Amino acid sequence: MNLYIRREASKLWKRLCSEITTEIGLLAENWKYLLAGLLCQYIHGLAARGVHYIHRPGPTLQDSGFFVLPELGQDKGYISETVFTCVFVSFFLWTFHPFIVKSKKIYTVLIWCRVLAFLVACQFLRVITFYSTQLPGPNYHCREGSELARLPKPHNVLEVLLLNFPRGVIYGCGDLIFSSHMIFTLVFVRTYQKYGSKRFIKLLGWVIAILQSLLIIASRKHYTVDVVVAWYTVNLVVFFLDNKLPELPDRTMVLLPVISKDRTKEENPKLLNGNSVDPADWRPRAQVNGKDSSGGHTDNNTNGA
């Protein structure tokens, strides 16, 4: 038993070291994109902080979602935040699964470059919308009479730049028209839909996204229009960018020689003797039951192989 554990631990360690080496190489090539994406996340937070200074509380707008969905109440606002935290943490951990899981389809660095590109594009549109039109926030701390509904003038620049994290993020007002939580949720769900492997988790992801939408409205954190706009805009942005960005390399592809029928008899002895064929003939092909999709067959009954 101890021997088996040591052997498996050794395999895991070798796999981890190999993956770290690969990801470091990708990080050296793509660190600029990751840094730019993280910087844009900060700029988005800075914009949301800035619009809070110009927020003016007022009567809550008429909203059909508020009439249909029962109000959870101020003391149950943590429910939607808990659901979002679970989605965020789960997706974050999944992007690092290639370091420990044997069957892997993605590279961590490349998948985050893609995800950050989606987030930046959606958040750029979000910033434009809530600076174009300021609406009275429906959240409890954004209503008239609340001390947090309007921020006093900052005493210095650092007060704005530091964002008062995390309190300034949780108790923000004025960043409406889009739901920030739905941007992250939908980007994560769509990314797993394409690059994930578990069908049940894909279905569960969409169910959670719908549940998150309803919880946001029931918690009165956003108007229904904020959630609706996020649903169709995020999907359109991701669809458009996904077609424009270069496709991620598929780690499950196996390089097998493609041999035409006319060259099968000529090349098979070379392969059996350990000689390679022309490199130009190597292409990614799928292998099924000992046969390649090009029509060539592997002879399993050769003598003296």
Annotation marks residue 44 as catalytic:
no
Cα separation of 259 and 277, whole Å? Answer: 9
Annotation marks residue 226 as catalytic:
yes
Catalytic annotation, pick one of 97, 222, 242, 299: 222
Cα separation of 262 and 259, whole Å? Answer: 8
Q: Hey, which residues does 285 pair with through a beta bridge?
A: 254
- What element of type H or E holds 282? strand 282-285
Catalytic annotation, pick one of 181, 242, 292, 297: 181
DSSP code per residue over 164-195: TTTHHHHT--S--SS-HHHHHHHHHHHHHHHH
- Other Cβ atoms less than 10 A from the Cβ of 140: the count is 17
Return the structure tokens found at 167: 């309190």
Catalytic annotation, pick one of 44, 55, 175, 226: 226
**At 257, is the secondary structure helix, strand, or coil?**
strand
Residues noted as catalytic: 181, 222, 226
